[in-house]
Structure 1
Amino acid sequence: MEKKDLTSGIVLVLTGAAFFAGSLLLPWKDTGYDWFGAPGLVPAILAALLVLCGLRLILRSRKEPDFYARLSAAETPLLCSDEDEEDVSGEGTAHPAWMHREGPRAVLTVTLCCAYVLLLGRVPYMAATAAFITGFILLFRGAGILKALFIGGAASVSIWFVFYKIFAVFLP
């Protein structure tokens, strides 16, 4: 059993439950809102999905204790190749040494998110979002530069289109 999955799953379930409770406090039956247009609907759906993701982690930690061993033994690594990378575990894992420690990854994630927030409003939304997604992919070695740029650009345009054009949500 991966203790991190169990702990993360419990945190996600509790966070999702708290967000769901908060979404119930938003207006649902006030005049001017149909049930599908209520401000609490989307947060409730997202909170329920967060709870489901947490439950999946909890179940995986209990039912598939060898999940990470099978993942590292796979021929095609998910994150990056093992060329010129340190192997701290000695088991032939495909991740660089720093990816095995949560501290640096968490600090990099928070730093990247803060930089994104600072860019919003100063740089056009699509450019900031594309830079954030591309940076995240490159930082965590999810793909090469061209593929990361393509994914970042495509995701940025897709997000803008869905929220701005379809849902008429004004973006920063």
Structure 2
Amino acid sequence: MSKQKLKPRTQMPRLRKPEKRDGAAIWELVRACKPLDENSMYCNLIQADHFADTCVVAELDGDIVGWISGHIVPGENTVFVWQVAVSEKARGMGLGRAMLEELLERDACDDVERLQTTITEDNAASWALFRSFARSMGGKLSDDPHYEREAHFDGHHDTEHMVTITLPEPLARAA
């Protein structure tokens, strides 16, 4: 009987709130995750510092390998996810979904009934993540063109579709 070599288990990254010292590493991660729009390093620093309650960092062996930036939409029970970034070395681990779940478990999301994000038509990875997430949560996903190429981006950026995941009532109440 031949012994089969088992592939070593990859350790799941530690999920946590970002800190301002993470800003530069987050910026580098976003730059490496095409087709995400690059923001300034200062923008990522402010997100990590001012919006830590609605942002998630994934850390593996001291490196930032995942990032979600988000915020609560003023006056609504909606968390808006601005960006999801996963390093090449952490892909295939279900990290995107794990970070979304971590976000919804935060105290800041206690009253959240909906999760929203915008996605361009050609971003297959983001569509797959959010469709899969909606199914796994038992939520309803809808989308409509929201920020349009000509009307909002002066022709310089593809239309962004507003994707809304309405969370199931028990989850929304439990969150």
State the TM-score, normalized to the length of structure 1.
0.28
State the TM-score, normalized to the length of structure 2.
0.28
More strand by share: 2
The structure with the larger Rg is 1
